[in-house]
């Protein structure tokens, strides 16, 4: 993908140089939905960076100036004009508004460039930070799927099912927010 630059960040494709920083936050995934992405060694991190490098749907979020990776965003297309999105940031860079700044840029990209009509995110019911982020992005809470998915097992081997909330925003809702806040599309 073409680089996206915001006031403090650069959103771009992954490179091998990101492996070290990816290992920092994926060696110990903080939420169970990323358990399967756990990385144990720098070699695994390099392989993961190589896999992601040509994937436009996996976006490296980096600090402007230093180009240091601080987290990632991803999106998946669903026919005919819907996108599922998600995010995972290093705890070191949490609480600075970086996730919101980059996710806003992702919404702009999906609605303006990819012609999305609807964008949604799944968030587990105990992940309050991610729910707050969805709300700050103007996404509506649409519902909660009870025992929707399992990412980990209990010690006895039985699956631990998660209650998963769905948040979404339509293009027309996003345009209304932009207008209300008088945000020109190129100033996000
Ligand atoms: C979910 C996640 C991305 C949220 O990150 P975050 O940093 O809390 O989100 P934001 O970018 O919206 O930052 C908000 C915080 O930055 C603060 N902040 C500081 N400077 C700011 C600025 N310039 N602009 C905006 N907010 C700023 C806000 O006050 C807020 O602080 P608070 O949390 O104390 O209220 C992050 O917790 C994460 O990656 N978690 C692990 C993975 C995960 O759960 N992924 C989602 C699975 S569904």
User: pLDDT digits over 16-36, tens only?
Assistant: 999 999 999 999 999 999 999
Mean pLDDT value across the chain: 96
Residue nearest to atom 31 of ligand 1 (CA): 95
Q: What is the CA radius of gyration of the chain?
A: 17
d(CA 77, CA 160): 28
Residue nearest to atom 13 of ligand 1 (CA): 97
* Residue 181: pLDDT band with limits 50, 70, 90: confident
Alpha helices, H only, 27-164? 42-53, 98-108, 128-136
Domains in the chain, CATH or no CATH each? 4-187 (3.40.630.30)
Decide if pLDDT at 110 tops 70: yes
Over residues 71-84, the mean pLDDT reads 98
Lowest-confidence segment of 85-99, 145-159, 173-187 by average pLDDT: 173-187
Decide if pLDDT at 188 tops 90: no
Percent of the chain scoring above 90 in pLDDT: 94
Report pTM.
0.96
Q: What is the DSSP letter of 139?
A: P
Atom of ligand 1 nearest to the CA of 122: 48
């Amino acid at each position: 993908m073409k680089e996206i630059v915001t006031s403090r960040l650069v959103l771009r494709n992954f490179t091998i140089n990101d492996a070290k920083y990816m290992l920092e936050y994926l060696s110990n995934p903080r939420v169970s939905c990323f358990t399967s992405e756990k990385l144990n060694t720098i070699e695994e991190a390099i392989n993961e960076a190589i896999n992601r490098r040509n994937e436009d749907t996996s976006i490296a979020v980096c600090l402007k100036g230093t180009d240091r990776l601080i987290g990632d965003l991803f999106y998946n297309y669903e026919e005919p004009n819907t996108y599922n999105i998600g995010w995972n940031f290093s705890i070191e860079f949490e609480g600075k508004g970086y996730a919101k700044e980059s996710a806003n840029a992702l919404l702009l990209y999906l609605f303006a460039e990819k012609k999305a009509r609807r964008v949604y995110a799944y968030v587990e019911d105990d992940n309050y930070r991610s729910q707050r982020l969805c709300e700050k992005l103007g996404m509506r809470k649409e519902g909660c799927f009870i025992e929707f998915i399992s990412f980990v097992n209990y010690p006895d081997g039985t699956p631990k099912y998660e209650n998963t909330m769905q948040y979404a925003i339509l293009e027309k809702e996003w345009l209304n927010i932009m207008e209300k806040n008088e945000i020109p599309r190129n100033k996000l």
